[in-house]
Amino acid sequence: MNQMIETGEAAHGSPGRDTAVSRAETWPRVLIISDVRLYREGLALSLARGGALEVVGATSSADAIESTEALCPDAVLLDGSLPNGLALSRAILRGAPSTRIVGFGIDGDEHGVLACAEAGLSAFVWREGTTAELAAAVGHAMRGELPCSPRIAGMLFNRLGCLAGDRDPARGEPSLLTRREQQIAELIAQGLSNKEVAMQLRIGAATVKNHVHNILEKLKIKRRAAITAYLRG
């Protein structure tokens, strides 16, 4: 009578296969967003072959928010060439604030980098970046890291300095007003007329008038006298 003998490998699975499955379970789950189908599907295949990431989907910007809600990825890989990419990043983060947004194909100029940071991107890869670099960027983003050059670090620190300068010292919060508007508001609170403000700041009276209009609109008030109350409040 023949007996079937169950070996350790058959009973418990192949050690190599179990190790691969275990690794895959720890890989970040990513959703690719690009409006070019060949682009997103090609990237999905390349990342899947490279390991380190689990691609749970690839979709267009039109379906990005719905797909993010349905698939709950750890990270969204966002095509930097999308005209609405930064607005889309903000929209995704409003619905899924813990999701990491990683941009790829990003322009290397200062404006592009700062715009990405302000839109909530956790990491980015330049236009010349490789899939390996993109996978590494996701890993860094998941750990709350941003490897970058000294130049990029300097740009981000300079931007933080500008934002700090635009904070309301009394409230410790971001001011609704720009630094110039804040200057003009302070002078108005001291009782200066538009003409006097213009003379002190060495700008045109018409420019001051425009700033005052913007100040009233931003603060949602109708009279100059209310500016003083806002600043002292």
Tens-digit pLDDT profile for residues 156-203 = 877 676 666 555 544 444 467 777 888 899 899 888 999 999 998 888
CA 47, 99, 125 angle in degrees (round to 5)?
A: 45
Q: Are the C-beta atoms of 60 and 87 separated by less than 8 Å?
A: no
Architecture label for domain 163-232: Orthogonal Bundle (1.10)
- 210: tokens are 């425009």
Helix (DSSP H) and strand (DSSP E) numbers for the chain = 12, 7
Q: Are the C-beta atoms of 76 and 33 separated by less than 8 Å?
A: yes
Q: Where in the chain is the domain with CATH 1.10.10.10?
A: 163-232
Please state whether the predicted TM-score (pTM) of the whole model is above 0.85.
no
Sequence-separated (6 or more) residues with CB below 8 Å from residue 202: none
* Model confidence band, residue 3 (pLDDT cutoffs 50, 70, 90): very low
Q: What is the distance between the alpha carbons of residues 135 and 112, in angstroms, rounded to a whole number? A: 21
Q: Is 101 helix (H, G, I), strand (E, B) or coil?
A: strand
Terminal Cα-to-Cα distance of the chain (whole angstroms): 94
Q: What is the distance between the alpha carbons of residues 47 and 163, in angstroms, rounded to a whole number? A: 37
Architecture label for domain 21-145: 3-Layer(aba) Sandwich (3.40)
Q: Which of 46, 49, 91 is nearest to 68 (CA)?
A: 91
Residue 2 has pLDDT above 60, yes or no: no
Q: Where in the chain is the domain with CATH 3.40.50.2300?
A: 21-145
